Every structure is written in C-alpha cells, then in structure tokens.
Structure 1
C-alpha cells in the first residue's frame, strides 16, 4: 500500500476517534443535566432550604450564562486552549459539586453553587465550539455527534426518576457529583484539535463578531426560536396535570419530544437545503406547534404535536450550527458560541418572566406569544436569507 493511499485511511481513523470521544463527552455533559434537573431541587429541600431560597439558588445558572460565560469562552479562545478549557471546567465543576454536597447552610450552598455555575455553564458552548472546529476539520456532521447528548439526557432523567424511590434525598447530590466526575474523566480523552485547525491564527477581539450583521441575525433568530419554548418548559407539566393526565402520561409526552429531537439529529446529514431555509422551516414549525398547543388539544393531538419538538428545537440547533460554521471564523468559534449562549440566556430569562405574567392571566393563551416570537425569527431569517444562501451547505456538515 502506497503512502498516498494510507493518508486518507489515517485521516478517517482519526476522524472516527474524534467523533466517538466527543459523542461520549456529549453524553456525560447532557446526562449530568438530565440528572441535575430532577435531583438538585429535591436535595435542596431535603437539607432544609425553603422554597424562596430554592428559587434564588436555581436562578443562578441563567445569570452566569450572560455574565461570566462569555468571559470564559473568550479567554479560552484568546489563549488558544479550547480543549484545555473544557477539561479545566469539567474538573472544576466536579470539584464544585463535591463541595456542595458537604454544605448544609443556605448561604454556603448558594456561594459554592454560584462559583460552580461559573465554570459549569460555559461547558456546553465550549464543547459546541470544539465540535464545530472538529466538524470543519474532519468533514463530519454535527447532528449525529450531538444526538448522544439528547439520548443521555433522557436516560439520565428516567434514571433519576427511578432512583428517587430508592435513594435517600439527602444523598442525591452524590449522584450528580458522580456524573460530573465521570464527565471530567471522559473529557481527558478528547483529542487535540487546535494545532490541526489553525491555532496559530491570531484571534481578534469579539467586537468583530458583534459588528457582523450576519452573526447578529443568527444569534437573534436562534434566541427567539429557542426562547419560544419557555412557556412549554415552565407550564406544560402544570397544564397537563390540571388536565388530568397521569404522571406517566406526562413523562411519555416529554419523552416523545426528545425522541423526535434524537431522530432529527440522526437524519440531519441527509439535509441538503441551506441552513437559513432550515431555520425558516423550524420557525414555521414552532408557529404551528404553539398555535395548536394554545387550543388545549386532546391527548392524541398533543402527542403528535410533541413530535414537532424535533423540528422546533432540533432543527433549529442543527441549522444554527450550520450557519455558525459558515459565518464565524474557526478560530473564533468559542467566542461565537459564548455570544450565542449569552444572547439566548438574556432572551430566555426575559421571556420566562413575561410568560409568568401572561400565563397568570390568559393560561394557555401564553403560547400565542411564543408563536409570535418564532414567527418574528422566521421572518427575519427569510428576509436575510440571501446573506447566507450564497454559501450553500448542508446544515449538519462543516463543509
């Protein structure tokens, strides 16, 4: 076998190794979220923290997303240590949750949790930036890598639900901490990319991105569509419970949405429409989904509507990542992801507050506001589509 024929084989093996290790890390990253969501508040209650303080403590991650997070992603980029930043934040997060588990006073828990969130919340945008750099370098597809995160989230959430019947509530924090330790160890296996992806390119200030109209359109449209899920995340279970649905039925409805998301990620390499048009399709799907949901439909229709989550969330994620690959220089992926997450955090936080006010007065009518947000995103992307369509690509691919 000639040296020339060995090079493509070696590159393919390297790409497969990168993909396997990144998929495993995505699984631990989102599996931890799946465990954290149902466990953490139960643990807070079990150690004697009252509801008012629980609300304050659980609001901390949202605050760090648009304050500390962009600073960390920007620093990782400036120092050309994207993979190193993922490892450092992974171990710092694990240490943070291990320390949280030893605390019982509300102010101590709040302080340590706040510090932990400062290193935990940047992990997703850092990982997405690392993934996009690998997608661009190895010619991979984002969707099949990301689907393992969604699958692990489902497993984590279901496992958490089962464990609640067997684990003493005051010990639940150790399950969360254990998953973060596992994630930190898996992070050590991530393959270096900076040297292979042009790490020598100087990274200019973030002002360049914030002066780019195309980038601003991308992060604004993403924030609007993804934040249009706010009413669903906050009030869906409450409304379904009031409608008389059992806990099992509610769990199945949530699971249907995530399964649809996983299927879309798996199929995304087959998508050939430009990413901008896929965002428009995702926005239109969200308008239809929230309009139907506002009618308080019966269970069979609701189950079908839940499958639209693959389009409203999953397609948005895939398409936005496709646009980011084209619009953001590879040496600025971390900063771009930081701004994307920060913008989404600000819009989602404001939307959550508005949702509470609107739901208190209009109930399911809050979904009309969600539909309007998605429609706005779709119209903006449609009008701006020519900025992106002159670079046709598969939304799931780096090239």
Structure 2
C-alpha cells in the first residue's frame, strides 16, 4: 500500500474526499441500524406483536439476503452502478420504514418490512464493495472508514435509549425512519469511481467464485459467526427490559459492545495476524460470549461480556474483509459481497426463526445454540487457513 507521500497531491485530495463522504454515509447507514437493532423488536412488542411473530419478522432481513440481495448486487455490478444503487436503496429504505410505522397487524408489518428489506439489506454489501474499491483505488484502510459507522450506531442506540423512557415505545419507529432519511441524503454525496477493466480470465472467474473452496470457507465461517448474533439482535433488549433494566441502561449495554468494535476498527491497520486467524479469534470469542450470556449474568458481568462484541463482530468483520480483498478480483467485489451476504442470510434467517421458538421455551438458553454455531465457524476457518494463506492474491486483477 503506497504511503501518502508517494501519492500525488490531486490523488491525496480525491482520497480524502472519498474517505470523508464514505465515512458520512457509513455513519448514516449504521445510525439507522443503531436505532433499529436494539429497539425495532421493542416497537414490535409495543404494538402488540407476540414473540413467535417477532422471531418471524426478525428473520426477514436474513431471508432477503439470499433471495433478493444477490440479484441487486449482481445487477449493480453488471451496470457499474454501485453508487446509483446505493442512492436508490437509501431512499427506498427511508420510505419503507415510514410505511411500516403506519402498520400494526403482524401480517401487514411483515409484508411492509419485507418490501423495505428487499432494498435495505443490499446496502451494506454494496457499501462494503464500494469501500473496498476505494481501498484498492486510493490505498486506503477499510477499518478507519468503517469505524464511523460503528460510532453512529452508538449515537443511534443512545438516542433511542433516551427516548424509550420519554416517549411511548410505539413511536420508536419514527426515530428509525428519520435516521434512514438522513442516510438517503448522505448517499447523494458519494463520489463516483472509475469502471474497472477486468481481463477475460477474471471475467470467467465470476462463474467459478463459488467453486473455490477457499472462498466458500470464508463466507461460511463469517456467516456462522455473524449469524450467531441472531438471538442477541432479536431478544437481548426484550430480555433486559424484562429484567427491569431502563431504556438507557439497555442502550448502554449495546453501546459498550459497539465501542469495543470501534476500537478494533481503529486499530485494524496495525494488525499483523493473518485475516484467517482474525476470523478464528472472532468465532472462538463468540463461543465464550454466548456461553456466558446464556447464564443470565449480573449487570456487572454482562457489561464486561458486552465488550467481546469487538471480537465477535468487529475482528470477524476485519478478517473477512481482509480475506475478500486478497482473494476476490476487485471488479467482482460486489458479487463476492453478495454471496457473503446471501450465505449470511441463510444462516441468520434460520437462526432467527429457531431463536424465536427456543427463546419462547427456554429463554436465555437460546444462547447455547448460538455458541454451537460459532464453534462450527471456528472449525471451518481453522481447517481452511493453510489453503487461504497459500492462495495467490487476486484482488489486483481489474482496476
């Protein structure tokens, strides 16, 4: 990666402009997630939707990841229109959450949420693909740009945490919709990137990507580790609320995890371990985290355990992106991100639905199921690490 002194002044300006605008968009995108993940299920419960329906509705984003999402990312890549696709998706998401806010019947909410997620869930893989092209184009680091998304997640969670004790929970959906609208506005500032010029051999590689065992190991291990967060995303806030914790305390617990994540992203340029090793560390950390969470620890212990989110999510994300940028041609990055998201969607949807059933019967015992998923993820990546470390780096093929 070239140093800043080796990059022409014009390129340095373009690089800073790209990084700044992308950081702003990451912030708006994850600000929406910061209000959505901790408190969307609280809103669902507030409008009278029961735990079984909450589990089904919570599975919708995962379902769209392996149905609609691959078609959206593939179409954006074929048309060289990542930026345009992000703008359309951002505006559709804001409108979709506004429509959801007018619905109260479980089936109506499910249908409106499904339509919204059809364009909302592709936003993250498209944004990561856009970011990794910028990494290759300008010699940037992924982590420092991505951390602004995590910072905005913290802000969003805190805002909702404060509001949940002030306004009725049935109004929280409008906070989510408002932050999504900010994301739509921020998408207008994203900087265009040049079209990559792939070689014919690289084009043929698009059809063989899923036949590469190393690539499959990457997406499976990542999907299992990130999918092991399903019960946490769907039921953590509900469980904590049931234990008598205030909205601000609940938000604080989410924030602790994301602050640890921010530290990981900020320090990621200094990491010297192989990306595959980072993924293994993230998976094993998830095994420990969910095993402890299943025992319903005290608030003090839970606060410490929440810091493991920097490992279970953050270091897994850094390791996965490092593996993709090494082993996927840059002009196929949207396709690779789409496959990753699709695999994650299958795993997360299944885990979310099962979580609703298991939580209804065993409560916090559902986290033992999440720990088992993470253990499988660690095993997959550990077995594949040698092959990945000896595969040629292919990301340079194509601008």
Scaled to the shorter chain, the TM-score interval is: 0.7 to 0.9
Task: Go from structure 1 to structure 2 and tell me whether the alpha carbon gap of 1:33 and 1:298 turns closer, same or farther (over 3 Å shift).
Answer: closer
Matched residues, number: 387
| TM-aligned CA deviation for residue 99 of structure 1 | 5.1
Q: Report what 1:396 is aligned to.
A: none
Alignment root-mean-square deviation, CA: 3.2
Residues 78 and 203, structure 1, Cα contact 8 Å, conserved in 2: no
Show structure 2 runs of 5+ residues with no match: 394-399
| TM-aligned CA deviation for residue 299 of structure 1 | 3.3
Give the Cα separation in 1 of the matches to 2:111 and 2:77: 27
Give the Cα separation in 1 of the matches to 2:363 and 2:272: 39
Give the Cα separation in 2 of the matches to 1:104 and 1:249: 27
Q: Report what 2:115 is aligned to.
A: 115
Residues 43 and 170, structure 2, Cα contact 8 Å, conserved in 1: yes
Q: Report what 2:33 is aligned to.
A: 33
TM-score by length of 1: 0.84
Task: Go from structure 1 to structure 2 and tell me whether the alpha carbon gap of 1:347 and 1:189 turns closer, same or farther (over 3 Å shift).
Answer: same
Q: Does 1:15 align with 2:28?
A: no
SS at match of 1:385: helix
TM-score by length of 2: 0.84
Q: Report what 2:344 is aligned to.
A: 344
Q: Report what 2:220 is aligned to.
A: 220
Give the Cα separation in 2 of the matches to 1:13 and 1:296: 50
SS at match of 1:190: coil
SS at match of 1:333: helix
Q: Report what 1:373 is aligned to.
A: 373
Task: Go from structure 1 to structure 2 and tell me whether the alpha carbon gap of 1:164 and 1:250 turns closer, same or farther (over 3 Å shift).
Answer: closer
Task: Go from structure 1 to structure 2 and tell me whether the alpha carbon gap of 1:175 and 1:55 turns closer, same or farther (over 3 Å shift).
Answer: same
| TM-aligned CA deviation for residue 311 of structure 1 | 0.6
Stretch moving more, 163-172 or 359-368: 163-172
Give the Cα separation in 1 of the matches to 2:118 and 2:152: 23
The 5 Å alignment of 1:1-399 reads 8-37=8-37, 51=50, 59-98=59-98, 111-164=111-164, 173-195=173-195, 197-198=196-197, 203-204=203-204, 206-241=206-241, 245-360=245-360, 362-390=362-390
Residues 38 and 233, structure 2, Cα contact 8 Å, conserved in 1: no
Stretch moving more, 305-314 or 179-188: 179-188
Stretch moving more, 54-63 or 208-217: 54-63
Residues 44 and 54, structure 2, Cα contact 8 Å, conserved in 1: yes
Task: Go from structure 1 to structure 2 and tell me whether the alpha carbon gap of 1:50 and 1:379 turns closer, same or farther (over 3 Å shift).
Answer: closer
Give the Cα separation in 1 of the matches to 2:205 and 2:62: 25
Deviations 1:8-36 (A, max 9, x none): 22222211111110000001111122234
Show structure 1 runs of 5+ residues with no match: 394-399
Give the Cα separation in 1 of the matches to 2:347 and 2:308: 22
Give the Cα separation in 2 of the matches to 1:336 and 1:365: 34
Give the Cα separation in 2 of the matches to 1:165 and 1:243: 15
| TM-aligned CA deviation for residue 104 of structure 1 | 7.8
